[in-house]
Structure 1
Amino acid sequence: MEDFSEFVGLSRPTVSKYFNDPSSVRKKTRDTIEEALKKSGFRPNIFAVNLNRRRSNIIGVVIPNSTDPFYMALTRRIELIANEAGFLAFVLSSDGRADMEDNAIKTFKSMNVAGAIIAPLGMRSRHTTLEQLGETIPLVYVDSPIDEASAFVGTDNRQSFGLIVDYLCRSGEPPCYFGMPQVNTNAATRLSAYQEAMQRLNVEPRILPVADTTTWDFEQFAFEEASRLFAKPDQLASRTILCANDRLAFGVIAAAWQRGLKIGHGAGYDLRVAGHDDHPLSRYACPPITTVAQNYNEIGRLAIELLLRKLSDTDNAPPAKDQILLRSDLMLRQSA
């Protein structure tokens, strides 16, 4: 910074003021600095700068799977709004592993991040590490909450499963449930939401026997488990299958096709298959998948706005315990 200040012919405090907030210096000064940047190629070490600040302009984001379209859409939205507010969103993936989630959180502490948005593993998360981070910076959880008190933005699973269970029961045989691997608290929450929705309609919940595992390869898991179930039709409690998410539905549909089963709504079809989430490829499946749509963009927007609001609170303000649950919309397509 000292070398660049000498190069541009301005004092270091003026140059530092520019890098903290370009609008805080006069236009002539700003133009001089920006021209010097082009000539010199100088860029300050943002991580070193943030270590020297009481509050940095870095926001940490931890997701469990960087290849999942839900988390990809979520982080894109968070990054965009964070950048507009003058923050850098730094995204790390736990890859579904508690030790990597723990390391990501420790990395954020060493980077002096201003706050963090976390999609936790839930039951397998190391709660002590999360609690220690939450004592020093504001946290907002997304997708699945770590507990009932923490700030959280996500889908109202009870509303969404109530919506699709009601439709499936009204339009045909009541659905049996194809559960998701135990990778986070959504596995238990969505199962419970399905059971409650069925009981409200005075229909006995029917849960398919699938393997108890923690894999994130939902498509392969569903394909293998559905193939096993289709080999013994007596294990199917219904000709309507409601999957905990759309990625499972992809695997179920592939297994049905391999078995020669026709999926669709109405006479002439062997099975109905429905999902949850409205995965970007759900409308292009064969057949297109009936599902309920999570609002990815809105979850991301509300999460980053809630975190920014927490960051703008005074140090004496009591910590917010906001929990925002978003409603889902039914997406009717040919699979059910």
Structure 2
Amino acid sequence: MTNIKKVSELAGVSTATVSRTLKSPDQVSEATREKVLEAVKAAGYRPNWLASSVKSGRSNTIVVLVPNLVNPFFMRIIGGIEQAAQEKGFSVLLGDTQGSPEREHEYASMVLTNRADGLIQLDHSFPFSAADADLAGDLPMVSVCERIHSEKKYPVIELDNYAASRALAHHLLGYGHKHFAAIVGQVSSQIYRERLAGIRSVLQEEQIPFEQSQITGGAYTIEAGIAGIAHLLSLPQRPTAIFCFNDDIAIGAVHAIKKAGLRVPEDISVVGFDNIKVSAFIDPPLTTVDQPAYDMGRRAVDVLVSQIRGEPLARSKEVLPFQLIERESSGPAPV
């Protein structure tokens, strides 16, 4: 097996610098980190993490709980997690929970039994069973996007969903829309409440009614978008603009609107959330909110590793910026 000395020769640094880069990359400069990582790749070097884990009492593994691996937005977050974890010398175990509490409990228990050092949760549920809740109190855990439902406040990496939804509402109001609807995701989540509150606040300011009958959905899927349109088109007043709480819902909505013989955006404008890659290539391309998903994943690892190392956190919540991406799925209200 290629040894650390070969890596140091290729990178032009000392073996101590190579070791420091692999174990604590935040302690070396970005230029040095890049040189060492390139040399590691070129040399085919595989650090003996098992030996170091025996000495440190750590597994050098983190568990990431994902409610649905099919969702492309989650895959962008995982990309950031994987890269940051690799740089810090950690392996990543993905748990595709499919919303199953039993699956969550099983994966989360790995941290309790020292098979993993910490956990990143991409859903809003507390992942430990009731029997393990007390033991889990001080374990390293970070949530991304959602806030974990728990008495203890765990660190969270999130977006300002309230402000982002207000931006979407102002965007549609600027096109003269007055008849709105929303197709939402899981109604038990903080994201649902914040995004809906953002929309309501703008419409209330403009004295535009927004009733419960104009809100439908309950899952972040294409199928939910299709079913949502069937409901909304049955209303006495057809909406001219629809907020979709993620891009998958919006893709389903656009499909169903066109299948009903209507046009997007000439008859109904549709906006989404997440800016997944395919949203720029559907017909018409989707107006949406871009979330820095990759950066969210990287920051989650930074915070989790700080917890694992017992380092104090500067703050327990980080709010990352969003960007409104205007494309052709939104336009002037029909006259």
* Alignment TM class, shorter chain as reference: 0.7 to 0.9
**C-alpha distance in 2 between matches for 1:271 and 1:130:** 49
| Contact map agreement 1:241 1:274 (CA 8 A) in 2 | yes
Larger Rg: 1
- Which of 267, 270, 278 aligns to 1:270? It is 267
The answer for unaligned runs of 5 or more in structure 2 is 2-16, 21-39, 331-335
Q: Secondary structure at the match of 2:143?
A: strand
Deviation at 1:60, TM superposition (A): 1.5
Deviations 1:243-288 (A, max 9, x none): 1111111111111111010112xxxx11111111112111111111
**For this pair of structures, how many residues does the alignment match?**
293
Q: Secondary structure at the match of 2:277?
A: coil
> How much identity, in percent, do the aligned residues show?
22
Q: Secondary structure at the match of 1:135?
A: coil
Q: Let me know the Cα RMSD of the aligned residues.
A: 3.4
| Residues 128-139 of structure 1: pairs in structure 2 closer than 5 A | 128=130, 131-132=133-134, 134-139=136-141
- Which of 196, 202, 208 aligns to 1:197? It is 202
| Residues 111-260 of structure 1: pairs in structure 2 closer than 5 A | 111-122=114-125, 128=130, 131-132=133-134, 134-147=136-149, 149-174=153-178, 175-182=180-187, 184-209=189-214, 213=218, 215=219, 218-230=221-233, 232-234=234-236, 236=238, 238-260=239-261
Q: Residue in 1 aligned with 2:277?
A: 280
**C-alpha distance in 1 between matches for 2:268 and 2:154:** 41
Deviations 1:56-111 (A, max 9, x none): 31112111111111111111111111111111122112111222111211133334
Deviation at 1:221, TM superposition (A): 1.7
Taking a change above 3 Å as real, the CA distance of residues 191 and 295 of structure 1, as seen in their structure-2 partners, is: same
| Contact map agreement 1:64 1:94 (CA 8 A) in 2 | yes
Deviation at 1:135, TM superposition (A): 2.8
Letter in 1 for 2:118: G
Deviation at 1:54, TM superposition (A): 2.4
The answer for unaligned runs of 5 or more in structure 1 is 5-20, 25-33
Taking a change above 3 Å as real, the CA distance of residues 195 and 210 of structure 1, as seen in their structure-2 partners, is: closer
1:325 aligns with 2:319: yes
Q: Residue in 2 aligned with 1:16?
A: none
Q: Residue in 1 aligned with 2:13?
A: none
- Which of 92, 97, 108 aligns to 1:94? It is 97
| Contact map agreement 1:177 1:208 (CA 8 A) in 2 | no
Deviations 1:198-253 (A, max 9, x none): 3344433344456665x55x1012202312432x25153x3111111111111111
Q: Secondary structure at the match of 1:113?
A: coil
Letter in 2 for 1:140: V
Deviation at 1:185, TM superposition (A): 3.4
